[in-house]
Amino acid sequence: MSNIKRVVLAYSGGLDTSVILKWLQDVYQCEVVTFTADIGQGEELEPARKKALQLGIKKEHIFIEDLREEFVRDFVFPMFRANALYEGEYLLGTSIARPLIAKNLVECAKKTKADAISHGATGKGNDQVRFELGAYALMPGIQVIAPWREWDLLSRDKLLAYADKHKIPVDFKKRKGAGAPYSMDANLLHISYEGGILEDPNFSPEESMWRLTVSPEKAPAKPEIVELEYAKGDIVAINGKKLSPAKVLMELNRLGGKHGVGRLDLVENRFVGMKSRGCYETPGGTIMWKAHRAIEALTLDREVVALKDDLMPRYARMVYNGFWFSPERKLLQTLIDESQKPVNGTVQVKLFKGNVIVVGRSSKKDSLFDMKISTFDDDGGAYNQADAAGFIKLNALRLRIAAKKGRQ
């Protein structure tokens, strides 16, 4: 332990990471640098600075960075170009934030000449894997301290007792047990809820749990049409108004939340081997996913779409399991980004009581939809229907040969 002189801690200012801060000072006898990322979690971050100062952290060793634009531009948007869904449902809201935090922890470690990084992820979850795979990929020699894999403070009561002993400020609600009866993780893409009362997969969460979305039953009785403009697979404008990546997602969260879009209750398979129940709110992401599929259907070749669909589950597992900085993910991303060059145009979606319904799509330069050929009316010779007979017979040839051999 003595070889670690300085460590960068991923710090939120909450109970867990505040206890970790003091524990690092006591157990490792090292200097602590705090790094706090604003990725759109919707919390005031200055209290984290104040608490770090109270715990003896030097002013110049407290870093609070606004990463919202980088998060959406360099992580969320590339993932949505892939139409990534983990196990067919999860839009990877927590997973995609971890490599960004790992990247910035490493950059902070380099800047401050730290020997190690530390995080508050438990030894049971996926986040420990995501943080550490990212860190090792970017700084192979970095050391990682994961207190939850080392200490015996394995309950809320023990954490509070440690906080009391070391005079660590604790939120009154945490002390009285009046906080949320589950764990929450928020960023600009989603909010996740897990643990506590949600550990019973048959327990139905109360309506008051959901924070980003209204209940679909209480959503407006009148649908709302939203137009999204795409350039190379990314949304660049909403209803004709140009917006930055982060503001695109913020506006879609507002619109989707208003109409009850994006709730998910899921039992998923963690990378570490166990099943986990999580509830997620991803209003903006749900709209983005649906609309992106629609503009791709109009502008991409059939086999390109099929290839992307074949690769998507593997890409999603890479993100979920923490391999964002792996050569295989980068290779797939290059292919995916190349496919997005013609993904330009507009999509109209109808938002109504939890639903996202595509009602229109257009692309002046890149649409592969040829109305002259597709029409059921007289096409003026654009398509010779007699050609279909040979096409069908060639595709039936192997079936006919097998049938003659009695293989039916």
pLDDT in tens, 347-356: 999 999 999 9
- Domain co-membership, 172 together with 253: no
- For 138-161, letters b (16+ CB in 10 Å) and e give bbeebebbbbbeeeebeeeeebbe
If asked whether residues 162 and 292 sit together in one domain, one would say no
Residue 175 has pLDDT above 60, yes or no: no
Residues in the chain, overall count: 408
Same domain membership, residue 149 and residue 20: yes
329 is catalytic: no
Nearest to 265 by CA among 87, 41, 89, 88: 89
Q: Which amino acid is at 311?
A: L
Answer yes or no: is 169 within a domain: yes
Secondary structure of the chain: what % helix, strand, coil (to 5)?
Answer: 45, 20, 35
The values of phi and psi at residue 317, to 5°, are: -65, -35
Residues 197 and 107 in one domain: no
Flag whether 88 is in a domain: no
Whether 16 sits among the annotated catalytic residues: the reply is yes
Shared-domain flag, residues 120 and 232: no
Q: Give how many domains the chain has, as a whole number.
A: 3
Q: Which of 68, 127, 234, 329 is catalytic?
A: 127
Catalytic residue (one of 98, 263, 329, 361): 98
Residue 283 in domain? yes
What is the structure's pLDDT at 16?
93
Instruction: Say yes or no: 159 and 296 in one domain.
Output: no
Query: Whole-angstrom Cα distance, residue 101 to residue 119?
Result: 10
242: tokens are 């140009």
Judge whether 183 counts as a catalytic residue: yes
**What confidence tens digit (pLDDT) does each residue in 235-292 have?**
999 999 999 999 999 999 999 999 999 999 999 999 999 999 999 999 999 999 999 9
Range of the domain at 400: 377-404
Do 59 and 115 share a domain, yes or no? Answer: yes
**Percentage of the chain lying above the pLDDT 90 cut:** 93
Indicate which residue of 183, 270, 366, 379 is catalytic: 183
The CATH number linked to 147 is 3.40.50.620
How deeply is 391 buried, as exposed, middle or buried, from its count of CB atoms within 10 A (0-12, 13-18, 19+)? exposed
User: Residue 54 is encoded by which pair of tokens?
Assistant: 């109270």
- 107 with 198, same domain? no
Q: Residue 408: which residues within 8 A CB-CB, separation 6 or more?
A: 402
Domain shared by 349 and 393, yes or no: no
Q: Which residues lie across from 144 on neighbouring strands?
A: 117
pLDDT-based confidence at residue 154 (cuts at 50, 70, 90): confident
Instruction: Using a pLDDT cut of 70, give the percent of the chain over it.
Output: 97
Query: Do 391 and 357 share a structural domain?
Result: no
Buried-state track 315-331, b at ≥16 Cβ within 10 A, e below 16? bbbbbbbbbbbeeebee
Mean pLDDT estimate for the chain? 95
Identify the CATH number of the domain in which residue 252 sits.
3.90.1260.10
Residue 77 lies inside a defined structural domain of this protein: no
Boundary (domain end) residue, out of 179, 214, 241: 179
Is 400 tagged catalytic?
no
The catalytic position among 16, 81, 118, 276 is 16
* pLDDT of res. 156: 83
Query: Is the domain of 172 the same as that of 232?
Result: no
Q: Which of 179, 197, 228 is the last residue of a domain?
A: 179
Q: Which of 332, 305, 300, 339 is nearest to 316 (CA)?
A: 332
Q: Compute the distance between CA of residue 284 and CA of residue 356 in angstroms, rounded to an integer.
A: 11
Same domain, yes or no: 190 and 165: no
In a domain, 267, yes or no: yes
Give the domain-ending residue among 141, 164, 179: 179
Asked whether residue 117 is domain-assigned, the answer is: yes
Strand pairing of 234-238 and 224-231? Answer: antiparallel
Rounded Cα distance, 175 and 126, in Å: 27
Indicate whether 367 belongs to any domain: no
The sign of the dihedral angle between the CA atoms of 373, 375, 376, 381 is negative
Q: Is residue 254 part of a domain?
A: yes
Which pair of tokens denotes residue 33? 């640098």
